[in-house]
Structure 1
Amino acid sequence: MSVINQMLKDLEQRSPESNTDATQSGNVAVAHSPIKIVLVTGFCVLAVCFLSFYVWQLISENNALKAEKITNKVNAVQMSSAKNRPENISSQINTSKQINSNENTVQNDPINVHVTKIYDQQEIAPVNGQTAEPTDVDKVLSNNSAETTAKLITTKPLVNNSASQVTPAKKAKIIADTHSHSGDSSGHSHDIVDIVKAKPKPKVNKMSVSRRQLSADELAEQKLVLAEKALAAKQIEKAEKLLEDVVIIRPSDSQTRKKLAALWFGRQAYQDAVNLLSQGIALNGKDSSLRQMKARIHLKQGQFTAALNTLKPLAQLKDEQYQVMLANTAQQAKQNKIAVDAYKVLIAMKPDIGRWSLGLAVLYDKNSQFELASMAYKKALTKNDLSVSSENFVKQRLQVIGQ
């Protein structure tokens, strides 16, 4: 009994294990079934997509081929109709061009007269009096031939210079349709005149570029402006070159000549500056500014006699600055007589200034002309424009001369 009981217990223990294995295998089968469904569904969707794309591609290619055939057919019809156009149209165009060359222009708004000539079109009657209905291709051919043979010839409006002119009220639009006839007899010829009001042509702004040679004065002014800019930019060499060109163009321009001489004087090219000023003095001997500038250059070099010789030709010039420079230069060159004459000119110009009388008195004093010096000193004291030191000097010299 114990053995039987033992066997029954073993069976009871084995039965739950087998049940658990069965449930696990069922769960695995259930778990694998949704994955298969998803895979199959995805494959089917992709297949449908590829099939749809293939069908769409076929349809689009078919449509493209059909459109190409239609366009080729229309082009062929147009080419055939263009070949059948009458050659008289070209002759009419040439005739209209000759007429246009002899016409006058109209002051009112122009109109374009389009003359269309449609020539006879003959159609062959069908056999046994039967009329056949035209196909689509024949209709297209007939329409295109009617359109292409209607050649527009643009002519200018004719003008009656005596009385009549074309007015906008007289402009009209006459349109005649082309009729195609079928029958035993030949076709009819129609002359159609199409008068269309033309749109006024917009005015086109045209810009023309022409070269104009500058005059001498204009060229000189242009170079002067460039020279001023070069000086402002401290481009001295460029400014000198431009001023040289201006002097060559306008030799009588003393201002430009002095500017160039000042530039050369600044870089110590004294001889070039003197030569330049001498040329200007030769052209205009009465220009005192050129002489003064040349004299300063000579004084800078210690050439007192050359400076005096430059100033002497205008010794009687009624210019205060010029006479003062002449007097000082004459004293430096030990030419007191010229200096005395210069002071006399200054006293004659401005007698109320005591400096000129004092300068003249000093010259007389140096020349030992004491009586004239005493008179000049006393005259200088009466002007009341001398400084304290000058007054003391005058009083001292009067005392010495008086003794």
Structure 2
Amino acid sequence: MSVINQMLKDLEQRNNEPNQVHHANVPVSPNHSSKKSLFIIILVVALLNVVGIYIWQLYSENQQLKDDASQSQVTQHQHAVNEQLTNELSANEQSVNEHSENEHFANKNTAVQASPREPSLKAPVAINTAEPVETTNSTAKSNAPVATPVEKPKHDELPTETSTVKSQPETASSPQMTVQLSSSVESEKLIDEPTAAAKVAEVAEKPAEKSSFSITRRQLSSAELAAQKMQHAEKVLAENNVEKAEQLFEDILMLQPEHKQARKKLAALWFGRQAYQSAINVLSQGISLDPNDSDFRLMSARIYLKVGKVKAALNTLSVLPDTPNKEYQLLLANVAQQSENFDLAINAYKHLLTIEPNNSRWWLGLAIAYDSNSQFEQASLAYQSALELGDLSASSSDFAQQRLQELGE
């Protein structure tokens, strides 16, 4: 039994050893997985950092390239401007130098032409008179022509005159001619040498004129300045910068109060932002400057109607009742009918029919004005003309027919 028990114990020990090993390995696996996950996290963070650094470097390089490109454009522009200024300065300097040289040569030629040439006959006469005497003596003895010896001309003597002296043969009457010719040559030489030396010294002593490039500012007149501001105002108004446009229009009116276009546009801008009183004031100033301007009166009347001042609108329009303007006469007719000034309304509709004789609405308005003014016969004729044209709406046509029937009874 002891042997069996011993065998059983050995079996139990063998069976327990795998279990102990299994239990011993259980806590090891979680440590291994946690280390692995930690390593993965660290690796991911490192990769993210690398990617971020790479993106930042790309962004920095892109910014650097943009800055370099902009700097190069600015440098090229400055270089072009400098080159243009240099070319202009060199051209101006060259023109100034040419002008000064032309003036210098002109003055030199004038001085040379104006300098008196007085013959100096002292030394030439003494030298040349002895030679002809010998020549005449020999002529008397031999009766043969002998050429007079002439000195070789120096480098500054006139070649034409020396060649003439050499080529002329001596005769019995030639000594006096030789004396006169040689004396004139020597005198010209004596006069020309100091004059030329003085001119050379004057040119050498005269300092070179420096070219100058000056920029002068011309003050613009009020009309030119107003025209510039008007162009600027149109530009900013196209960009929808209303405040700047208003300021520019005000500046134009300060420079030129009679500038109608700027006054009208300023009034329109103020009317658009409901500054009615300011618009009326600026238009009233325009009316006082030009009472016959129908546009100022038309705009003022519309603003008066907007604020409910019908009588003020009528007073503004009634000053020019015969203005050949369709919008003006139409507004005058409506305001006159509202104010029960039917004579003025009738006159306005007549002007409208003069402009558009086949407009049925003007005939209907004229008929209503006649009818309201108790001129029933003229009203009937106007109603008939409006119906004959046939352009009325259904309600207007019914009203005209009804009034014709009532007036016919």
Output the TM-score relative to the length of structure 2. 0.49
More helix by share: 2
Which structure has more RCO (C-alpha within 8 Å, separation ≥ 6)?
1
